[in-house]
Amino acid sequence: MKIRLDKFVWCVRLAKTRSQASELITKGRIKLNHSEVKPSREIKLNDLICIHKHNAVFEYKVLQLLDKRHGAALINDYIVDQTKPEEIDKFKQYQLAQRAYRETDGKPTKKDRRELDRFMEDWEE
C-alpha cells in the first residue's frame, strides 16, 4: 500500500484538513525522518513524522498505513507518539504564556506605565 504524506497526516488527524496538511509540509513545519519533503512523498512503515508547533517538535512513528480518515479513538493503531518530555514541557510553557497574555488586553494601564517608568528610572541609576 502506498500513501502520500499529506493524506496520511490528515487521516491520522494531525491536521484538520488535507490542504492544511499539504501547506504545513510545504512550509517545512511537518518533516519526514527529520528532512523536508514534498506533500506527495510516499511514506513507509516505521517512518518518523516531525511536527513543529510554535517552539516544540512533536514526533510520531508510523505503525500502519491507512487510506481513510478514522475516528480519534482508532488513531493509536496507526501512529505512536514519541515526543520527548522536554518538548511537551516547552509547548505547555508556550500555552501558559499565551493564556497569560490573552487575559490582559495587551496594553499597559496608566498605573502599569508609571510603575514601569519608575522601575526604568531606578535601573538607570
For position 25, which CATH number holds?
A: 3.10.290.10
**Exposed/middle/buried for 59, CB within 10 Å: 0-12, 13-18, 19+?**
middle
Query: Could you tell me if 59 and 103 lie in one domain?
Result: no
Cβ atoms 41, 32 nearer than 8 A: yes
Q: Which residues contact 34 (CB under 8 A, 6 or more apart)?
A: 48, 50
Query: Could you tell me if 75 and 107 lie in one domain?
Result: no
Query: Could you tell me if 78 and 95 lie in one domain?
Result: no
Query: Could you tell me if 1 and 55 lie in one domain?
Result: yes
Query: Could you tell me if 5 and 20 lie in one domain?
Result: yes
Query: Could you tell me if 74 and 105 lie in one domain?
Result: no
**Full residue range of the structural domain in which residue 110 is found:** 84-125
Query: Distance (Å, rounded) from C-alpha 38 to C-alpha 5?
Result: 8
Query: Could you tell me if 75 and 97 lie in one domain?
Result: no
Query: Could you tell me if 79 and 93 lie in one domain?
Result: no
Query: CA quadruple 9, 13, 15, 18: dihedral positive or negative?
Result: positive
In this prediction, residue 125 carries a pLDDT of 62
Query: Could you tell me if 56 and 92 lie in one domain?
Result: no
Q: What is the mean pLDDT of each run of 10 residues along the chain (125 residues)?
A: 92 94 95 93 94 94 92 92 94 90 78 90 76
Q: What is the pTM of this model?
A: 0.77
In this prediction, residue 123 carries a pLDDT of 76
